[in-house]
Amino acid sequence: MSRGTRLLAGLVLTLALAAPAAFAQQPPSRPQVSDPAQQGFVPADKLPQQEPIPAAPLVAFAYAFVWIVVFGYLWSIWRRLGTVEREIQAVSKRVTSGGRG
Amino acid sequence: MLNEGLSARSPKPKAKMNRLYPLLLLVAAAMFAYAPFMILAAPYESTMGLIQKIFYFHAPVAMTMFVSAFVCGIASAIFLFGGRLGADRVAMAAAELTSILGLIVLVTGPMWARKAWGVWWQWDARLTSTLVLWLIFQAYLLLRRFGGPGSDRLAAGVALFGMANVPFVYWSVNVWRTVHPTTTVVPSLQPGMRGPFWYCFLAFVLLYVSVLGVRTRLEKRRAELEALYLAVEE
Amino acid sequence: MRFVETVWLVTRKDLLIEARSKEILYTTLFFAVSCVLVFAFGFVREGRPLGDAAAGILWIAIAFSGTLALGRAFERERQSETLRALMMSPIDRPALYVGKLCGVLILLAAVELIVVPLVGLMFQAPLFAHPVLMIGLLLTGTVGFAAVGTLFAAMLVRARSRDVLLPVLLYPITIPVIIAGVRGTAALLQAEVDEPMARAWLSMLVFFDVVFVTLALWTFEPVMTE
């Protein structure tokens, strides 16, 4: 099998394994029932109130994420720029100080 | 902060531009320092409460991402059809920025969705098309990194498709019935919310322009380094 | 008309070469069938396939086998350096692109001729209850996919890591086409057939086709020129 076909077969396999996840919808959240109704079912008019998801940690994390990514990216550019500038200094010294040839 | 290096041959206007970017960055930073106060002072949204405050970063970043995708696409077109190498450097920088901005949108969005819709993710038109847009620019970056020689032109072609995708992403909420808020939200913002929103958008635009400038400069310096290496070979 | 002539010449060349060995046709066909089987086994519960699976599996099989066929077709060009020869000849670049596109389309049509009935059979899906709409969806979806695929496959002929880069580039851009195809087909396979919905998706596909083919024609020459 050529390398290309092998790669593709691997991709198909991986995607085939992952496909059910992609097709899945989020399952509807089930109501919390404290006593499992094993003896008999008790009908109810409304679903019992669920624990509300706290908003503050989500908001905090969202903003924190933005800052982390922005600073991280700026730092990454700064670092890369520094490396390139250093290399330019080094190579241009070689060019100016002794021309080979 | 950014030393001029050996660009003795670069014309004066470019040098002035290079001083502009750190300045813009400082202005943006100052704006961001003040932003939390504005955001906290803004009124709560009646149905969503506190979680809606993510909007003041999520939506401006998304809008900036669209702008960035356009910048990349237009620069790619100029490079492809006009042959201007400078445009290719801008395109590379813009693509990387689009990817970063997209990452922010795709993480802050689900944070909001978890509370507002009960789920982290939905395969609706807006979310799916935004993810697709992000993937297109990831493909651009992968191509530039691993495609070998000639991948600059190929990537420019990809960027054009990416740019064509943006209107689709934008209009998707209006065409399809989705859970995501439609495009009427921003024009119809109440004064209390309008202020912080456009303020944050301006801050992000300034940040974007300054980072684009710096990142483009990195590409330029890399190209100069390549040229120097070639000069050494001779 | 020189344009149509050139397109026909390029397409005919590709078809003739393929007709001799039929290598790409057979291998792509086999791959498409295996694809359908793999997904079928993945989506079968208690011996019966899941409801909406047919539409999705059909289009995924088309997408995967299409990618394979594109890769192979242009690999052949690369090995004989014929693409460069074509580029050096004084023919209209858009005509070259359209010619290659037609060749790919004919190949994919042959594959779909087998795969579509197969999917219908395996998933008991009435794929031929609305033949006009179904064929319309298949045609426009395949054109959209192949239009982008031909451009990128041609672009990548001289690139490094081209095997893996073709799917990387192709899938994000053609996801909207696949989604439209799947949703349109699913609308036709539902218990209560939703024809207006299928027609809406069909018009969406036409829109994609126009945009993609236009973009491809526009960028083919500058991207292929060294």
Distance separating alpha carbons of residues B140 and C79, to the nearest angstrom: 26
Q: Is C22 on the interface with B (CB under 8 A)?
A: no
Res B2 pLDDT > 50 = no
Q: How far is B69 from chain C (nearest CA, A)?
A: 14
DSSP letter at B184 equals T
C163 to chain A: nearest residue by CA?
A: A4
Put simply, the answer to whether B112 touches A25 (Cβ < 8 Å) is no
Give the residue extent of every domain in chain B: 53-233
Q: What angle do CA B210, B215, B220 make, to 5 degrees?
A: 125
Q: How far is A3 from chain C (nearest CA, A)?
A: 9
Put simply, the answer to whether B218 touches A91 (Cβ < 8 Å) is no
Q: What are phi and psi of C44, to 5 degrees?
A: -100, 130
Put simply, the answer to whether C173 touches B136 (Cβ < 8 Å) is yes
Percent of chain C with pLDDT over 70: 97
Res A52 pLDDT > 90 = no
Residues B43-102 have pLDDT tens digits of 887 777 788 888 889 999 999 999 999 999 999 999 999 988 999 999 999 999 999 999
- State CA C80 to chain mean position distance: 24
Give the predicted TM-score (pTM) of the model.
Answer: 0.82
Res A55 pLDDT > 60 = yes
For chain B, the average pLDDT equals 86
Q: Six-digit token pair at C204?
A: 């969406």
* Residue type at position B208: Y
Q: Is B148 on the interface with C (CB under 8 A)?
A: yes
- Read off the pLDDT of each residue in C42-60 and give the average, rounded to a whole number: 80
C 156-195 residues with CB below 8 A of B? 156, 158-161, 165, 168-169, 171-173, 175-176, 179
ipTM of the prediction: 0.86
Helix (H, G, I), strand (E, B) or coil at A84: helix
Distance separating alpha carbons of residues B20 and B30, to the nearest angstrom: 15
